[in-house]
Structure 1
Amino acid sequence: MPRNTPSPRPCRDCDGFPVVAITTGTRNPDGTRTTLRIDCQACHGTGHTAPAPALARIGR
């Protein structure tokens, strides 16, 4: 059955690919490459963002 909840929007900065692995160029003693895991700074590694809050008119 389909759910009625809206699906989260993909992050506009990473397009839903929140984590990347970057090789440093150095090798470990077993011959594998040293990699760094980097998370998207906008969505903090979740791959989606919360919907923008509705604007509220305050004052006059």
Structure 2
Amino acid sequence: MTDHQNPAARICPDCDGFASVAVTLGGRNRLGFLNTITAHCKRCEGTGTLPPLRTLVDAAATAAFAGGAK
């Protein structure tokens, strides 16, 4: 019997899988910690991966056929 494997997760091409980063704003607060903000990748919404390609193709086909039926 063959083993069924899930397809490998697609790494986001915009962030290369590093979806969230801390950016230093410069300076320190009164406790001595660096002032930072967290920035998330907009394309993958901070997950580092994208949905399987099949999901994207199905969504695009549905949108195309729904728009053409008007």
Q: TM-score range by the shorter chain?
A: 0.7 to 0.9
Give the structure with the larger strand fraction: 1
The runs of 4+ residues in structure 1 deviating greater than 3 Å are 54-59
% of aligned pairs identical?
40
Query: Which has the higher relative contact order, 1 or 2, with Cα contacts under 8 A spaced 6 or more apart?
Result: 1
For 1:3 and 1:38, locate their aligned partners in 2 and report how far apart those are by CA, in whole Å.
36
Instruction: Map 1:1-16 onto structure 2 (within 5 A).
Output: 4-16=5-17
How many residue pairs are counted as aligned between the two chains?
A: 58
Structure holding more helix per residue: 2
Unmatched 5+ residue regions in structure 1?
none
Aligned CA-pair RMSD: 2.2
Name the SS of the counterpart of 1:53 in structure 2: helix
1:37, 1:53 → 2: CA distance?
32
Aligned amino acid, residue 23 of structure 1? T
